[in-house]
Amino acid sequence: MPADPNEHTTPSSRTAKYWRKESHVNVAHAARMAEPPAEPDADRAAPRRLGIIFWVAIGWILLVTTAAIVAPLLPIADPEQIGIGPRASGPTWDQWFGTDGNGRDMFSRTIWGARVSLMVGFFSIVAGFLVGGTMGIVSGYRRGWIDLVLGFVTYVMLSFPLLVLFLLVILLFGQGLWIVTGALSIVVIPSVARLARAITIVFAEREFVAAARLLGATNRRVMVREILPNVLIPMSALLLLGLGLTIVAEGGLAYLGLSVADGFSWGKMIQMGAGLRTLQTAPWVAFFPIGAMFLTVLSLNLAGDRLRQYFDIRELGIGSR
Amino acid sequence: MAGSGTAHLRGHDEMVLRVENLVMEFPAGHHQVVHAVSDVSFDIRRGETLGIVGESGCGKSTTARAIVQLPPPTSGRVVLDPGTDRETELTALVGEDLRQVRPRLQMIFQDPISSLNPRRRVRDIVGEGLHIWAEESDDERIRARVDEVLEAVGIDPTVAANRRPHEFSGGQCQRISIARAVVLEPEILICDEPVSALDVSVQAQILNLLEEMKLRYGLTLVFIGHDLSVVRNVSDRVIVMYLGKVCEVGGADALYSAPAHPYTRVLLASAPEPASTVDGSEAAIGDEIPSPMDPPSGCRFRTRCPRADDRCTTEEPILRTLDDDHFVACHYPTAAGPSGA
Amino acid sequence: MAGALLTVQDLRVGFLTEQGLVRAVEGVSFDLEPGQTLGVVGESGSGKSVTAKALMNLLPSYAQVGGTVDFDGRDMFAMAASREKHFWGVEMTMVFQDPMTSLNPVKKVGEQIAESLRVHLGRSRRDALAEAGDLLEQVGIPEPGARLTQYPHELSGGLRQRVVIAMALACGPRLLIADEPTTALDVTVQKHILDLLDDLRRARGMAMILITHDLGVVKGRADEVMVMYAGHTMEEAPTTTLFAEMRHPYTEALLETIPRIDTPSHTRLVPIPGRPPEVIEVLDGCPFAPRCRYSIARCLTNQPDLTSHGAGHLCACHAPVGTPSGTQARSANESAGTTATGLDMDQFTRNVPVADPGQSGAEG
């Protein structure tokens, strides 16, 4: 490498040209690996690749999302049109997923149902991460009374009975898409806030934060430039896991009749197909939305979990597994 | 020992920083208090390197943090340019006023990895100070300045500037930290154990670099360390601390060649290769360091001191002059000057 | 050697990783006689700790080990293969840098020491505890009786390391490996622990391998010193010989780069340029050559073998310090201003104040 008089300036520089290029691996790293006897070596070496399962899961998520977004453009039946086929008939070449009791096309309904499910799930988790993440970073970095107040708010949110909360929100504001989304995001906020706070505390004690403050960075600048990028990566892996949760939660609400009034989601479809008689005579009416939701949530969990390992949140010394 | 007192302060001439009666206490639960730093005073002349040496728990790093107000001390004063019309009392400043003064003191830390934000690129890390204080978008000037400083610390900007810290070795990270600290041309650079985490073969590079930086940017250095040889090598003046108090202060060579405080002598005798000025057997003291939550009365070193008697239990020794620019806080120092047991 | 307790021959350790085989130890050999101390000196990545782990059978499963280790006539790798239970922790024990890695934080100190006595020597609980008390006294812990019922977190760092030493001594080992035993401790405590290890070794006639990054620690304590770099042995000699007439440029550079407690302040330190290799590859040449003031063309192409430089003194160098070839290599490099690996020679002499007598003796 260069004839630099001092330390070689190139990162991980080969020390000289005459090293034979057979294997180049890291002695220091190896020594470190062998250093503390308690180190879980196998774990450490594990996830350097995302693997096939991850990509299959991502493929499914993309497929469902794309289908939901472009549903109006797809050459499929109108999901609300009654009598497009025979009533409550099983899957056929014309109606791949069969029809429901009103003769509506279940394939088309499953795709359209994804729209509400995914939208509510997505926007509530994003809102929850924005609000909860901000709360967590601010309380983890500022500590003091801000931390106490925000901590108290978090506890209140965590201990409030969720169903009562939803009933209350719906009674007061109705069952609009954004109302339901907002109500769901309230569920997400406290957990996200606590996690973001924990990660923030780990990083706020690092010397680079002290260095930034010494340079004259304002608190806001420190939080945005120094803390946020470090919180963002591990949190983003959890976004997928959270999305799985909110989709399931919306399904549960819909089943109780507490979700979006206009249109229908997978949850609402399940509710409609889950009557005892329908289950006996036309089980496919409930089966396809359940299957779609199951596969989607499973994919989100598999992909999210893999990402979490990949970014190795344990490295931060919090939330082991 | 247990040095309160101000006999060793040197008036205002050419002093760039003065610390008076610095006290740092932390709550430790159960109504207990950690007395991390107790009534420590010193001053630093412009262009000088002040070494602070002591073992873990002596309060040396806490003192460094208190000087830069991260966090501010429990009590005491930290004054920049004492006795001049530019005199600034850091301990009296808060919020925006403090932020405005901050760039005048910079710091480098022990852990080279933890010192650098893993998610940012070297160029942004080193340029951060410039971006914070930039008038408008003078990106070109900042770029040039970052390149210049990186080169000064021996890092090739063309190769390194767009990389992230994990691609560098400990020594290189420490160079980047130094670049970040000097980019705003501070007056005082506080080095908190800057070479303790480095391989022995890399230490000398960083120590030599600090000397170069000191000349090039006209810095005043505070060098905190536990390695007595390293501290002597870089310092003009040395403070020996124990359990939150000053034991002995003096010119580096004077202090090492005629150590007067029993604790200083123990330190010098305990080094892997003991100093020639003390007898190796002087290292024989117990290794139970008292808790900083309940420090001994009188002299804090008395529980491990071979010379301690009743007076040391009841009366705290105050720093007093031993020789020209050599001060000790002990009732029974090793006589080298006018006083003595 | 006939009387050797431990004979290590051509020890090699590699770690199979996704990037290939990491060569951490490359052909280390030494003998250790009963009651003797071997100091192993090296920086991070030198392979000193991996050597110790290999001897202690503590390497992870993906490590590949080669060479032979003979302990008092027994093949150690054969013992490892047959899962010998009463060798490691009994005849050969180890003290680590961080005492907390060896201590169970939720068990009382006495129980932890007693445990190995009960497991390996079949002592009763009561006897084992009594013996644990004796051991604590031997390692200089005040009020040993009271300490038996304390937990590790109630002890200071120095006391914890003493407890670990007591545990290591419990079964009367014939060889104790101490891996940076004092690096995590304060200077005043450090000396006590090193002295204690030395006293115990002498009293029990046990052999010791003292691993450290600090040449000062082995000086006056070890009988023999082995200097390691990048997995290779650079130099091996009786301690007094090593300090008096070191032959390897790396040993010399290490001594010159460390500030001395007796040299005046602002003495410019002779730097060792570059850093220890992070990347180890199969070498044609000497691993230290890129940082070496003595390097000649041959250092780039031929890996030097260990050659004899007097009684028990081995050094792997083509241009050893203090020999005609070394002196010639260095003066040639100095007049050329650069070494065979392209190292700028000026940096070693730049701004060096008048060399004091203590340092100039080391110059080749």
B180 contacts on A by Cβ (under 8 Å): 211, 215
Coil, helix or strand for B179? helix
Residue A144 tokens, joined: 């003091």
Of C53, C60, C281, the CB nearest to A19: C281
Which of B115, B172, B175 minimises the CB distance to A211? Answer: B115
Are B229 and C159 in contact (CB < 8 Å)? Answer: no
Å from A221 to nearest chain B CA? 9
Structural domain range at position A207: 55-75+106-316
- Closest chain A residue to B203, measured at CA: A7
pLDDT score, position A321: 27
Q: In angstroms, what separates the C-alpha of A3 from chain B's closest C-alpha?
A: 12
CA distance B47 to B222: 10
**Which range has the worst mean pLDDT, A21-25, A47-51, A245-249?**
A21-25
Tokens of B15: 């002093």
The residues, any chain, with a CB within 8 Å of residue A252's CB and separated by 6 or more, are A267
Task: Tell me, yes or no, whether C62 and C160 share the same domain.
Answer: no
Q: Give the pair of three-digit tokens for residue A160.
A: 């409030």
Number of Cβ within a 10 Å radius of residue B338: 8
Q: Are residues C189 and C69 in the same domain?
A: yes
Q: Which of C43, C23, C102 is CA-nearest to residue C227?
A: C43
Cβ count near C284 (within 10 Å): 14
Lowest mean pLDDT among A94-98, B210-214, C9-13: A94-98
Task: Compute the mean pLDDT over every residue in chain B, rounded to the nearest whole number.
Answer: 89
Whether B119 maps to a domain, the answer reads no
Three-state secondary-structure class, residue A68: helix
Mean pLDDT across chain A = 77
User: Same domain, yes or no, for C272 and C215?
Assistant: no
For the residues B233-248, what does the mean pLDDT come to?
A: 95
Residues listed for chain A: 321
The SS3 call for residue C152 is helix
**CB–CB of A27 and C19 under 8 A?**
no
Residues of chain A in contact with residue B161, where contact means CB-CB under 8 angstroms, are none
| Residue A47 clears pLDDT 60, i.e. is over it | no
Mean pLDDT of chain C: 87
What whole-number distance in Å separates Cα of residue B315 and Cα of residue B297? 8
A8 or C11: whose pLDDT is higher? C11
Best mutation target among C28, C278, C333 (most A Cβ atoms within 10 Å) is C278
Q: Among residues A114, A109, A108, which one has the least CA distance to residue A297?
A: A114
Q: What is the rounded average pLDDT of the residues C212-238?
A: 93
Largest CA distance in chain C: 73
The lowest-confidence range among A314-318, B290-294, C54-58, C113-117 is: A314-318
Nearest CA among B84, B79, B59 for reference residue B188:
B79
CA–CA distance, C201 with C222 (Å, rounded to integer): 11
DSSP state of C39: E
Residues C132 and C224 in one domain: no
**Which of C222, C220, C228, C200 minimizes the C-alpha distance to C137?**
C200
Higher pLDDT, A2 or B212: B212
Which structure tokens are listed for B213? 């930086």
What pLDDT is stored for residue B12 in this prediction?
66
Cβ distance C278 to A19 less than 8 Å, yes or no, reads no
The enclosing domain of C50 has a CATH number of 3.40.50.300
Is residue B145 in a domain? Answer: no
- Is residue A23 scored above 60 in pLDDT? no
Is C266's pLDDT higher than 80? yes
pLDDT of residue C278: 64
Identify residue A67 by its one-letter amino acid code. A
A39 inside domain: no
Whether the pLDDT of residue C340 is over 80: the answer is: yes
Determine the structural domain holding residue C281 and report its residue range. 247-360
Assess if residue B300 is contained within a domain: yes
Question: What is the DSSP secondary structure assignment for residue A1, as one 8-state letter?
Answer: -
| CB of B125 closer than 8 Å to CB of B166 | no
Q: Which residues contact A257 (CB under 8 A, 6 or more apart)?
A: A271
Is there a contact between A306 and A51 (Cβ–Cβ < 8 Å)?
yes
CB–CB contact B117 A215 (8 Å): no
Is C182 in the same domain as C234? yes
Residue C9's SS3 state is strand
**Residue A120 Cα, gap to closest chain B Cα (Å):** 32
> Are C253 and C231 found together in one domain?
no
pLDDT computed for residue A176 by the predictor: 85
pLDDT at C352: 41
Cβ within 8 Å of A, C 339-358: 341-344, 346-347
B91: tokens are 């301990």
| Residue pair C241/C225 in contact by the 8 Å Cβ criterion | no
Tell if the CB–CB gap between A5 and C274 is shorter than 8 Å.
no
What are the phi and psi torsion angles at A262 (to 5°)? -80, 145
Residues of C in contact with A11 (CB under 8 A): none
- C17 and C87 together in one domain: yes
The answer to the question of residue A27 being in a domain is no
For the cut 70, the answer to whether the pLDDT of residue A196 exceeds it is yes
Query: What is the torsional sign of CA A166, A172, A176, A181?
Result: negative
CB spacing of A233 vs B119 below 8 angstroms? yes
Question: In the 3-class helix/strand/coil scheme, how is B51-67 assigned residue by residue?
Answer: EEECCCCCCHHHHHHHH
Q: Which residue has the higher pLDDT, B231 or B28?
A: B231
- Domain match, C282 and C200 both: no
Q: What is the pLDDT of residue A34?
A: 34
Residue C215 contacts by C-beta under 8 Å, 6 or more apart in sequence?
C41, C225, C251, C254, C255, C258
SS3 A228: helix
CA A316/CA A202 separation, integer angstroms:
7
Task: Indicate whether A46 pLDDT > 60.
Answer: no
Interface of C with B (CB under 8 A): 43-44, 142, 156, 158-159, 186-192, 213-214, 216-217, 219, 253-254, 257-273, 275-276, 278, 291
Residue A117 lies in a domain: yes
Mean per-residue pLDDT, A65-84 = 82
A89 located within any domain? no
What's the rounded Cα separation, in Å, for the pair B280 and B262?
13
Across chain C, where does the E strand assignment appear? 6-17, 20-32, 37-41, 63-71, 74-75, 92-95, 175-179, 207-212, 224-229, 232-238, 279-280, 307-308, 314-315
pLDDT at A21: 30
**In this model, does residue B302 exceed pLDDT 60?**
yes
The answer, yes or no, to whether residue A108 has pLDDT greater than 70, is yes
Among the candidates C170, C197, C219, a domain finishes at C170
Instruction: Work out the pLDDT band at B275, boundaries 50, 70, 90.
Output: confident
Residue B268, pLDDT score: 92
User: Which ipTM was obtained for this model?
Assistant: 0.89
Task: For chain C, give the number of residues.
Answer: 364
Mean pLDDT of B268-275: 85
- Token look-up 């420590």 returns B40
Q: Which residues contact B60 (CB under 8 A, 6 or more apart)?
A: B52, B53, B54, B224, B241
Mean pLDDT of B283-296: 80
C90-130: pLDDT as tens digits: 999 999 988 888 899 999 999 999 998 998 888 999 999 99
Give the one of B199, B204, B267 whose C-beta lies nearest to C270's C-beta: B204
Residue of B341, B331, B325 whose CA lies nearest to B301 = B331
Question: ∠ at Cα A152 (A151, A154), nearest 5°?
Answer: 65
- A68 within domain boundaries: yes
pLDDT value at residue B284: 67
pLDDT at site A308? 78
> Domain for residue B141, yes or no?
no
Residue C120 · residue C168 · CB < 8 Å: no
Whole-number Cα distances in Å, C213 to B272, C183, C260: 12, 9, 16
Measured CA to CA, the distance from residue A263 to residue B204 in angstroms comes to 72
**C364, C322 contact by CB (below 8 A):** yes
Half-sphere CA count of A276, side-chain side, radius 13 A: 0
Number of domains in chain B: 1
Q: What is the pLDDT of residues C297-309, one digit of tens each?
A: 999 889 899 999 9
Picking from A107, A61, A62, A109, the residue whose alpha carbon sits closest to that of residue A244 is: A61
Which of the four pLDDT bands, split at 50, 70 and 90, describes residue C329?
A: very high
Tokens, residue A62: 């993309």
Q: What is the pLDDT of residue A2?
A: 39
Q: Check if A40 contacts C (Cβ < 8 Å).
A: no
C 300-329: CB under 8 A from A: 300-301
Residue A171 has pLDDT above 50, yes or no: yes
A61 belongs to a structural domain: yes
Show the tokens assigned to B34: 């950690």
CA–CA distance, C280 with C97 (Å, rounded to integer): 25
Instruction: Express each pLDDT in A201-220 by its tens digit.
Output: 999 999 999 999 999 999 99
Can you give the CATH number for the domain in which A238 is found? 1.10.3720.10
Judge whether A143 and A264 are in contact, CB under 8 Å.
no
pLDDT of A70 above 50: yes
Q: For residues A270 and A255, give the distance between their C-alpha atoms in angstroms, rounded to a whole number.
A: 7
Question: Which residues on C lie below 8 Å from B283 (Cβ)?
Answer: 188, 191-192
Rounded CA separation C262/C358 (Å): 9
Average pLDDT, integer, range C269-284: 75
- Is B232 part of a structural domain of the chain? yes
Handedness of CA B251, B256, B261, B264 (dihedral sign): positive
Count how many domains chain A has.
Answer: 1
What is the rounded CA–CA span in Å between residue B83 and residue B78?
A: 13
Q: Rounded distance, CA C72 to CA C77, Å? A: 13
Tell me the chain C residues in contact with residue B235 when contact means C-beta distances shorter than 8 Å. 265
Residue A26 is predicted with a pLDDT of: 35
C189–B207 C-beta distance less than 8 A: no
| The pLDDT of residue A227 | 95
Looking only at the bridges linking them, the beta strands covering B75-80 and C224-229 are: unpaired
Alpha carbons C190 and C221: distance in angstroms, whole number: 13
Chain C residue with the nearest C-alpha to that of A11: C278
Residue in B169, B233, B272 closest to C217 by CB: B272
Same domain, C52 and C183: yes
A196 within some domain: yes
Same domain, C265 and C356: yes
Q: Which of A307-321, B91-105, C154-168 is least confident?
A: A307-321
CA of A30, closest CA in chain C: separation in Å?
7
Structural domain total, chain C: 3
- Chain C touched by A225 (CB under 8 Å): no
Give per-residue pLDDT as tens, A249-282: 888 888 888 878 777 888 888 888 777 777 777 7
Residues of B in contact with C219 (CB under 8 A): 272-273
Q: Considering C120, C143, C170, which residue would you say is the last residue of a domain?
A: C170
Question: What is the span of the domain harbouring residue B207?
Answer: 15-113+188-328
- The residue that leads in pLDDT, B44 or A71, is B44
Q: Is residue B124 part of a domain?
A: no
d(CA A226, CA B118): 9
Under the banding of pLDDT at 50, 70 and 90, the label for residue B31 is confident
pLDDT in tens, B190-231: 999 999 999 888 899 999 999 999 999 999 999 999 999 999
Q: Do C275 and B229 touch (CB under 8 A)?
A: no
* Per-residue pLDDT tens digits for B71-110: 999 999 999 998 888 899 999 999 999 999 999 999 999 9
Indicate the pLDDT class of residue A102, thresholds 50, 70 and 90.
Answer: confident
CATH code where residue B235 lies = 3.40.50.300
Task: Identify whether the C-beta of residue A121 lies closer than 8 Å to the C-beta of residue A250.
Answer: yes
A173 within some domain:
yes
**Within a domain: B182:** no
For residue B71, say if its preceding peptide bond is cis, omega within 30 degrees of 0.
Answer: yes
The set of residues, in sequence order, having a beta carbon less than 8 Å from that of C294 and lying 6+ positions away, is C249, C317, C319, C321, C326, C329, C330, C333, C339, C364
